[in-house]
């Protein structure tokens, strides 16, 4: 059966750029000889009345997906009960080759703050059932928030026991703050291998995302509650900055690579359908509200940032460690991590927030982290320490507007941390203006105990740092108290490893700063 573009629009819950492409042949009654739901199901970006539902048809996930060059109708259903007797919505989405037969549907007309179950069908094939949850009503001040924050999941470095544990928690939301895939291989003692070499093309990135997504524990975590996602560098290329790659590739070539990587990211994440608009940029920053309790400002720290300062010639443009005295460019006031437009947007979003807890959801460690010894000060240029004046602007603005209960969440550094954030980290009298919790890596190798101890010794505002364990952070938020529990994986080489609580820190309402509990 041939379907016109008009039919696409009739069925289109997703008005994406794919629909603007020439009409594709549609196979009305597809027959699958292999399960097309090998990548599981996911949901994301819950609103009080809607949630995004995701899947991708890929009977041969590691080799381009294995789907024909044609559209395939996918029926979706969302219900108020696990047995799908109380259907709350359903429809048909034409999954097409332009977006790797991914499905992004915004299910609307839902009730706030409650669980829903969803599933997909293509031909005779039925997907697993996913559970999701709508956001509480905007004025709901009684609600609580149970949130897990994940980052850095190198597939080769360890199994995803952390996700197995996460899927067993009763969570409202998972926030992934980047390094969802790794483009390259490094380190010794890998527990499993990437399929294929470093990705450069759209086909390469699709295969890489698909491989990560075949992991059963990752699928379980996606199927248990809605996610919000931020990318960091490895979704494209280690330590890239805007249009500049680690190896200083020609800008045109790197932008083509970045565009492919961004598209594959969209195709594999439960992002709102309108996120994909074609072109070589993609807006992922925005605000997420959880009732009147919390607002999360979701930041993109790669796409708009200024280039790294003081790069080593041997390592192209990538992040680097520098002695601060030898790199005065670091403190140029115009340098920006977010770019001018996003900085301005963030300032407005914070000014307008009536929430009790104001979360800055970003991708790395915000606290100043001096990695030097007694004689020198050494910092990484890829993190906020490479953009210290921009960090000061942000913390200063939080302080000046007396933002209610600011909490910064991040990852990237492969260790768990709890920190106090000051406008001036070198002045013990500079007031603490925000609290910070950093999640350790899900599986990527972390620093040694000695390195964490040295970090703690030189940075008194960092109260806790543990890179010995892979894992994630579970946050339980009520009106009076924010409780962060660092979960650690005992043995990353064992998918069934025990996962346990390493430490717990709290923030009390109205009192910025982390306290051990
Ligand atoms: Fe990482
Ligand atoms: Ca990173």
Residue 189 above 50 pLDDT?
yes
Q: How many angstroms is it from 152 CA to the middle of ligand 2?
A: 7
Task: Look at residue 89 in the predicted model and tell me its pLDDT.
Answer: 98
User: Which numbered ligand comes closest to the C-alpha of 415?
Assistant: 1
Q: What is the pLDDT of residues 349-361, one digit of tens each?
A: 999 999 999 999 9
Q: How many angstroms is it from 240 CA to the middle of ligand 2?
A: 10
Q: How many angstroms is it from 151 CA to the middle of ligand 1?
A: 7
Q: How many angstroms is it from 176 CA to the middle of ligand 1?
A: 12
Q: How many angstroms is it from 516 CA to the middle of ligand 1?
A: 26
Q: How many angstroms is it from 184 CA to the middle of ligand 2?
A: 12
Residue 88 above 60 pLDDT?
yes
Q: What is the DSSP letter of 147?
A: E
Beta bridge partners of 505: 484, 516
Q: Percent helix, strand and coil across the chain, each rounded to 5?
A: 20, 30, 50
For residue 43, what is the enclosing H or E element?
strand 41-44
pLDDT-derived band at 14 (thresholds 50, 70, 90) equals: very low
User: Which numbered ligand comes closest to the C-alpha of 235?
Assistant: 2
Q: How many angstroms is it from 261 CA to the middle of ligand 1?
A: 16
Tell me the residues surrounding ligand 2 (ion) with CB < 5 Å.
179, 232-233, 412
For the record, the structure tokens of 164 come out as 């197995």
Q: What is the pLDDT of residues 271-297, one digit of tens each?
A: 999 999 999 999 999 999 999 999 999
pLDDT-derived band at 233 (thresholds 50, 70, 90) equals: very high
Q: What is the pLDDT of residues 256-269, one digit of tens each?
A: 999 999 999 999 99
Residue 16 above 90 pLDDT?
no
Q: How many angstroms is it from 287 CA to the middle of ligand 1?
A: 24
Task: Look at residue 387 in the predicted model and tell me its pLDDT.
Answer: 98
Task: Look at residue 21 in the predicted model and tell me its pLDDT.
Answer: 52
Q: How many angstroms is it from 450 CA to the middle of ligand 2?
A: 21
* Segment among 56-60, 223-227, 244-248, 413-417 with least mean pLDDT: 244-248
State how far the Cα of 393 lies from the Cα of 359, in Å rounded to an integer.
Answer: 17
Task: Look at residue 312 in the predicted model and tell me its pLDDT.
Answer: 86
pTM exceeding 0.85: yes
> What is the average pLDDT across 11-19?
42
Q: How many angstroms is it from 363 CA to the middle of ligand 2?
A: 8
Q: How many angstroms is it from 238 CA to the middle of ligand 2?
A: 7
Q: How many angstroms is it from 36 CA to the middle of ligand 1?
A: 30
Neighbours of 9 (CB within 10 A): 10
Residue 6 above 50 pLDDT?
no
Neighbours of 86 (CB within 10 A): 10
Q: How many angstroms is it from 322 CA to the middle of ligand 2?
A: 18
Q: How many angstroms is it from 412 CA to the middle of ligand 1?
A: 5
Residue 437 above 80 pLDDT?
yes
Q: How many angstroms is it from 236 CA to the middle of ligand 2?
A: 10
Task: Look at residue 61 in the predicted model and tell me its pLDDT.
Answer: 98
Q: What is the pLDDT of residues 493-508, one digit of tens each?
A: 999 999 999 999 999 9
Query: Do 392 and 367 contact (CB within 8 A), yes or no?
Result: no
Q: What is the DSSP letter of 375?
A: S
Q: How many angstroms is it from 76 CA to the middle of ligand 2?
A: 35
For residue 131, what is the enclosing H or E element?
strand 130-133
State how far the Cα of 51 lies from the Cα of 387, in Å rounded to an integer.
Answer: 35
Q: How many angstroms is it from 152 CA to the middle of ligand 1?
A: 4
State how far the Cα of 49 lies from the Cα of 391, in Å rounded to an integer.
Answer: 35
For the record, the structure tokens of 47 come out as 């609103």
> What is the average pLDDT across 5-28?
52
Q: How many angstroms is it from 433 CA to the middle of ligand 2?
A: 25
Burial of 29 (0-12, 13-18, 19+ CB in 10 A): exposed
User: Which numbered ligand comes closest to the C-alpha of 237?
Assistant: 2
Average pLDDT in the chain? 94
Q: How many angstroms is it from 300 CA to the middle of ligand 2?
A: 12
Q: How many angstroms is it from 383 CA to the middle of ligand 2?
A: 9
> What is the average pLDDT across 47-67?
98
Residue 17 above 80 pLDDT?
no
* Nearest-5° Cα angle at 38, 225 to 260: 85
State how far the Cα of 371 lies from the Cα of 380, in Å rounded to an integer.
Answer: 8
Residue 2 above 60 pLDDT?
no
> What is the average pLDDT across 122-140?
98
Orientation of helix 340-351 relative to helix 388-400, angle to 10°: 20
Q: How many angstroms is it from 6 CA to the middle of ligand 2?
A: 42
List, in order, residues 6 or more apart from 250 with CB less than 8 Å away. Answer: none
Query: Do 254 and 248 contact (CB within 8 A), yes or no?
Result: no
Instruction: Using alpha carbons, select from 427, 132, 222, 409 the residue that is nearest to residue 298.
Output: 409
Task: Look at residue 316 in the predicted model and tell me its pLDDT.
Answer: 75
Instruction: Using alpha carbons, select from 124, 112, 145, 141 the residue that is nearest to residue 46.
Output: 112
Residue 168 above 90 pLDDT?
yes
CA 186 from chain center: how many Å? 22
Place of tokens 């293509």: 122
State how far the Cα of 185 lies from the Cα of 43, in Å rounded to an integer.
Answer: 29
Residue 4 above 50 pLDDT?
no
Q: How many angstroms is it from 428 CA to the middle of ligand 1?
A: 31
For the record, the structure tokens of 347 come out as 């300032």
> What is the average pLDDT across 469-475?
98
Orientation of helix 251-268 relative to helix 202-213, angle to 10°: 30
Task: Look at residue 12 in the predicted model and tell me its pLDDT.
Answer: 34
State how far the Cα of 130 lies from the Cα of 143, in Å rounded to an integer.
Answer: 23
Query: Do 406 and 435 contact (CB within 8 A), yes or no?
Result: yes
Neighbours of 510 (CB within 10 A): 9
State how far the Cα of 215 lies from the Cα of 9, in Å rounded to an integer.
Answer: 34
> What is the average pLDDT across 310-330?
89
In the chain, the percentage of residues whose pLDDT exceeds 90 is 93
Task: Look at residue 458 in the predicted model and tell me its pLDDT.
Answer: 96
Q: How many angstroms is it from 149 CA to the middle of ligand 1?
A: 14
In the chain, the percentage of residues whose pLDDT exceeds 70 is 96
Buried b (16+ CB within 10 A) or exposed e, 281-319: ebebbbbbbbbbbbbbbbbbbbbbbbebbbbeeeebbbb
Buried b (16+ CB within 10 A) or exposed e, 466-496: bbebbbbbbbbbeeeebebbbbbbeebeebe
pLDDT-derived band at 382 (thresholds 50, 70, 90) equals: very high
Query: Do 133 and 116 contact (CB within 8 A), yes or no?
Result: yes
Q: How many angstroms is it from 409 CA to the middle of ligand 1?
A: 15
User: Which numbered ligand comes closest to the C-alpha of 240?
Assistant: 2
What dihedral do alpha carbons 178, 446, 320, 421 form, nearest 10°? 70
Q: How many angstroms is it from 406 CA to the middle of ligand 2?
A: 23
What's the count of helices (H) and strands (E) in the chain, helices before strands? 8, 24
Task: Kindly list the structural domains of the chain, giving each domain's residue range(s) and its CATH number in brackets, ordered by start.
Answer: 3-133 (2.60.40.380)
């Amino acid at each position: 059966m041939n379907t016109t573009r008009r039919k696409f629009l009739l069925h289109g819950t997703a008005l994406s750029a794919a629909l603007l492409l020439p009409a594709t042949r549609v196979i009305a009654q597809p027959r699958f000889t292999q399960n097309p739901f090998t990548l599981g199901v996911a949901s994301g970006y819950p609103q009080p009345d809607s949630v995004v539902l995701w899947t991708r048809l890929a009977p041969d996930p590691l080799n381009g997906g294995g789907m024909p060059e044609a559209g395939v109708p996918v029926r979706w259903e969302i219900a108020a009960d696990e047995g799908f007797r109380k259907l709350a919505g359903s429809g048909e989405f034409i999954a097409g080759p332009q977006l790797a037969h991914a499905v992004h549907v915004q299910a609307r007309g839902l009730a706030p703050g409650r669980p829903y179950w969803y599933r997909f069908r293509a031909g005779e094939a039925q997907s697993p059932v996913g559970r999701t949850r709508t956001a509480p009503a905007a004025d709901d001040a009684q609600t609580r928030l149970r949130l897990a924050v994940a980052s850095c999941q190198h597939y080769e470095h360890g199994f995803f026991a952390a996700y197995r544990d996460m899927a067993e928690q009763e969570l409202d939301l998972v926030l992934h703050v980047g390094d969802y895939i790794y483009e390259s291989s490094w380190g010794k003692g890998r527990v499993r291998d990437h399929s294929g070499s470093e990705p450069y093309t759209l086909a390469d990135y699709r295969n890489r995302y698909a491989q990560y997504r075949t992991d059963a524990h990752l699928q379980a975590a996606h199927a248990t509650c809605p996610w919000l996602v931020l990318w960091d560098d490895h979704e494209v290329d280690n330590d890239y900055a805007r249009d500049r790659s680690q190896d200083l590739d020609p800008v045109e070539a790197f932008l083509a690579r970045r565009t492919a990587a961004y598209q594959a990211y969209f195709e594999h994440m439960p992002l709102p359908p309108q996120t994909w608009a074609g072109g070589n940029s993609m807006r992922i920053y925005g605000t997420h509200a959880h009732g009147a309790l919390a607002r999360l400002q979701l930041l993109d720290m790669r796409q708009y940032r200024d280039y790294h300062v003081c790069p080593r010639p041997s390592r192209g443009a990538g992040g680097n460690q520098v002695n601060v005295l030898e790199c005065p460019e670091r403190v140029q006031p115009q340098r920006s991590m977010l770019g001018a437009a996003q900085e301005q947007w963030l300032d407005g979003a914070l000014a307008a927030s009536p929430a009790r807890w104001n979360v800055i959801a970003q991708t790395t460690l915000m606290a100043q982290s001096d990695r030097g010894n007694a004689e020198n000060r050494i910092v990484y240029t890829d993190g906020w320490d490479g953009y210290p004046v921009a960090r000061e602007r942000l913390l200063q603005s939080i302080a000046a507007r007396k933002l209610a209960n600011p909490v910064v969440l991040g990852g990237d550094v492969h260790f768990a941390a709890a920190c106090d954030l000051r406008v001036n980290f070198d002045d013990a009298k500079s007031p603490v203006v925000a609290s910070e919790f950093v999640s350790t890596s899900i599986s990527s190798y972390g620093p040694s105990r000695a390195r964490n101890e040295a970090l703690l010794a030189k940075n008194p505002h960092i109260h806790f740092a543990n890179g010995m364990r892979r894992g994630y952070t579970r946050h339980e938020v009520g009106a009076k108290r924010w409780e962060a529990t660092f979960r650690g994986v005992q043995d990353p080489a064992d998918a069934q490893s025990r996962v346990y609580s390493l430490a717990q820190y709290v923030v009390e309402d109205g009192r910025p700063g982390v306290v051990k509990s």
